[in-house]
């Protein structure tokens, strides 16, 4: 009935996107202990920065990716420094922090709408499909999977073999103990906010290249990314790797099933929601713990 190889490849592509988009979300969620809904806009912002380079057909994807990486990272650091850090210093509780992140998201989203308008834009370079071992692929999808692999390995190296990475894990598991052990948690947290959002910006470029660019781009995938973060276990990068690909699989099989039973493919988000509810009922701590 369906082409299993193709579905698995598509799942890898979708999962790679969720991994890139969710890495920063889960790491900062673990460190700063609140879900940052403005991540949607970090993703979107990356997409629009990429547009600066990819609005011409001869635009270079690597340049767009690298610029989006730094732009979204800097946006995240600025938002931490001027919005979240002052709130945390004033002992703001969890829900006010979440509201602030939603409010900040609106500020960024409408600023993007003001600068680039609300109508959908498209990147000009075209990545045409070709067959690779009977699977339909595009170079863009291969880059995306490659970027996810690179992220996975380098973050694994970072978390296990560097001082910063160990500090990230230490702060996430016990902030007070980390502080008395002499870890400069301010610097580590800023580093994580930067890197995480930078990867989200990269995800934004890939998403925009694959579909279209519009101010709701990040918001449209944010809830699925949240489902992945919770399925993986909040704060766990390794859990997220598994969860992102599980959600990719569930979504791609789900879409085929939806088409088979004649339901709208708009329900792909509902599938992620179903996964989220099941996780909360069965294993609220997520896969990692």
Partner 1 sequence: MDPLFYVFDTLVFVGIFALLTVSLNLEYGFTGLGNFGKVAFFMAGAYTYALLANQQLPFYLCLTGGAAVAGITGILVTFPALRLREDYLAIVTLSFGEILRIIIKAEEGIAGGVRGIWVPSAFAPLGSMRSLAVANVLLVLCCLAAAFLLAQLLAHSPYGRILRGIREDDVAVQALGKNTVLYKLGVLTAGSAIAGVAGGLFAQYMSFIDPYMFLPLVTFFVWIMLILGGPGNNWGALVGALLVELLNRGTRILKDYLTLPVDPNNLQFILFGLLIILILLYRPQGLLPEGPVKTAARRMFQNAPSA
Q: What are the backbone dihedrals phi and psi of residue 119, each rounded to the nearest 5 degrees, phi first?
A: -80, 150
For residue 30 the two structure tokens come to 């673990």
Distances (CA, A) of 40 to 43, 57, 63: 5, 27, 22
In whole angstroms, how close is the CB of 97 to partner 1 at the nearest point?
8
Residues 82, 173, 241, 158, CA torsion sign: positive
Distance from chain centroid for Cα 255 = 21
Burial letters 32-41, b for 16+ CB under 10 A, else e: bebbbbbbbb
For residue 37 the two structure tokens come to 């809904």
Residues 285, 222, 203, 140, CA torsion sign: positive
Cα angle 137-139-145, degrees, rounded to a multiple of 5: 80
Smaller CB distance to partner 1: residue 3 or 114?
Answer: 114
Smaller CB distance to partner 1: residue 78 or 149?
Answer: 78
CA 204/CA 187 separation, integer angstroms = 26
Closest CA to 72 of 99, 39, 34, 104: 39
Smaller CB distance to partner 1: residue 82 or 130?
Answer: 82
Smaller CB distance to partner 1: residue 198 or 224?
Answer: 224
Smaller CB distance to partner 1: residue 77 or 227?
Answer: 227
In whole angstroms, how close is the CB of 220 to partner 1 at the nearest point?
9
Smaller CB distance to partner 1: residue 180 or 282?
Answer: 282
Q: Are 28 and 198 in contact (CB under 8 A)?
A: no
In whole angstroms, how close is the CB of 86 to partner 1 at the nearest point?
6
In whole angstroms, how close is the CB of 272 to partner 1 at the nearest point?
8
In whole angstroms, how close is the CB of 134 to partner 1 at the nearest point?
33
Q: Are 189 and 31 in contact (CB under 8 A)?
A: yes
Query: Which spans of this chain sit near partner 1 (rule: CB under 8 A)?
Result: 34-35, 37, 83, 86-87, 90, 92-96, 98-100, 102-107, 109-111, 113-114, 223, 226-227, 230, 263-264, 266-267, 269-270, 272-273, 276-277, 280-281, 284
Burial letters 225-249, b for 16+ CB under 10 A, else e: bbbbbbbbbbbbbebbbbbbbbbbb
Smaller CB distance to partner 1: residue 49 or 231?
Answer: 231
Smaller CB distance to partner 1: residue 177 or 263?
Answer: 263
């Amino acid at each position: 009935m369906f082409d299993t190889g193709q579905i698995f490849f598509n799942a890898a592509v979708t999962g790679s996107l969720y991994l890139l988009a969710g890495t920063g979300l889960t790491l900062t969620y673990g460190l700063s202990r609140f879900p940052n809904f403005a991540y949607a806009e970090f993703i979107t912002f990356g997409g629009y920065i990429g547009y600066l380079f990819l609005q011409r057909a001869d635009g270079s994807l690597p340049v767009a990716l690298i610029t989006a990486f730094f732009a979204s990272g800097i946006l995240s650091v600025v938002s931490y420094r001027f919005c979240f850090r002052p709130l945390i210093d004033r002992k703001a509780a969890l829900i006010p922090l979440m509201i602030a992140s939603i409010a900040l998201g609106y500020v960024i989203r409408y600023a993007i709408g003001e600068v680039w308008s609300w109508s959908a834009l498209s990147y000009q370079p075209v990545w045409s499909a070709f067959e690779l071992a009977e699977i339909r692929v595009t170079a863009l999808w291969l880059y995306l999977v490659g970027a996810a692999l690179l992220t996975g390995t380098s973050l694994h190296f970072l978390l296990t073999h560097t001082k910063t990475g160990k500090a990230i894990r230490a702060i996430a598991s016990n902030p007070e103990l980390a502080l008395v052990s002499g870890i400069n948690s301010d610097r580590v947290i800023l580093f994580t906010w930067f890197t995480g959002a930078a990867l989200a910006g990269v995800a934004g470029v890939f998403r925009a290249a694959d579909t279209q660019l519009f101010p709701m781009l990040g918001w449209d995938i944010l809830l699925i990314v949240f489902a992945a973060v919770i399925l993986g276990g909040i704060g766990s990068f390794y859990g997220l790797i598994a969860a992102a690909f599980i959600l990719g699989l569930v979504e791609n099989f789900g879409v085929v099933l939806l088409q088979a039973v004649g339901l709208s493919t708009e329900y792909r988000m509902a599938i992620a929601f179903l996964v989220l509810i099941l996780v909360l009922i069965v294993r609220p701590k997520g896969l990692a713990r």
